[in-house]
Structure 1
Amino acid sequence: MKKRDLLIGFSTGVAAGFLIREVAHRIEPTKPAELVLHGIKQSFKEEGPIDGSWIYMKTEPFNRQAVSTDVYRGGISRVREGEFEQFEFFADSRTGTVVDLIKL
């Protein structure tokens, strides 16, 4: 086998791997739901302990005025100053950024 053939095969493999990674990255959400929930829980824990949390594993569409994106929906509950609080959040599936937080 010539070095030229080996180099062509290697280059083709690298290019194909890069292309597959790019296509998969555009199709699948960047952040798994567990990582999104972990980040949100850490933010709430800065203010005090939390009692419970949940997140839907599938993304759902979220529309706010002219902006549309796929989000994870979840919730956090805690006791703060003797009062039980519940929150529902919507987090961008690609970045994990909270796009809406609602106190229930």
Structure 2
Amino acid sequence: MNWKSFLLGVAVGIIGGYAAKEIITCKTNISPEKVLEQVKKQFSKNGPINGSWIHMEAEPYEKQQINYRVYKGGISKNNNGTTEQFEFIADAQTGTLLDVRALSSELVS
């Protein structure tokens, strides 16, 4: 066996392994649809949901001096004749809810 071929094979193996590691550990965003699905699942534990939306582009967000890429969205639900609306902020990489804010409620007739 030729030493040049052996060393070339080792070099290609190392480079390929490093590239595979980078691809596997790459921090990619979860799709906004999947994040909305997870948020709706959490909200539906306390009653049915009337409507929901999510902004499809991740944007920068800082909370307690930690930077995130987030999706912003909203949920509306009916609670005893009153429509409750909530805005949420979810981490784009994990789908974890970072913040939820209740908006004003309105009476449904």
Write out aligned runs for 1:10-89 (5 A).
Answer: 11=13, 13=16, 15-19=18-22, 21-22=23-24, 25-26=26-27, 28-29=28-29, 31-89=30-88
RMSD of aligned alpha carbons: 2.7
Point out where structure 2 has 5 or more consecutive residues left out of the alignment.
Answer: 1-5, 104-109
What is the TM-score normalised by the length of structure 1?
0.77
What are the superposed Cα offsets for residues 13-39 of structure 1, whole Å, 9 maximum, x if unpaired?
Answer: 5554443x147x23x32x111111001
State the distance in 2 between where 1:44 and 1:93 align.
18
Rg larger in structure: 2
- Relative distance call for 1:60 and 1:14 in structure 2 (3 A) is same
Alignment: residue pair count: 100
Following TM superposition, the consecutive aligned residue runs of length 4 or more in structure 1 with deviations greater than 3 angstroms are 10-19
What are the superposed Cα offsets for residues 50-92 of structure 1, whole Å, 9 maximum, x if unpaired?
Answer: 0100001111111223122111000000111111100000001
What is the TM-score normalised by the length of structure 2?
0.74
Match of residue 102 from structure 2: 103
State the distance in 2 between where 1:77 and 1:13 align.
48
Give the letter aligned to residue 59 of structure 1: A
- Relative distance call for 1:45 and 1:18 in structure 2 (3 A) is same
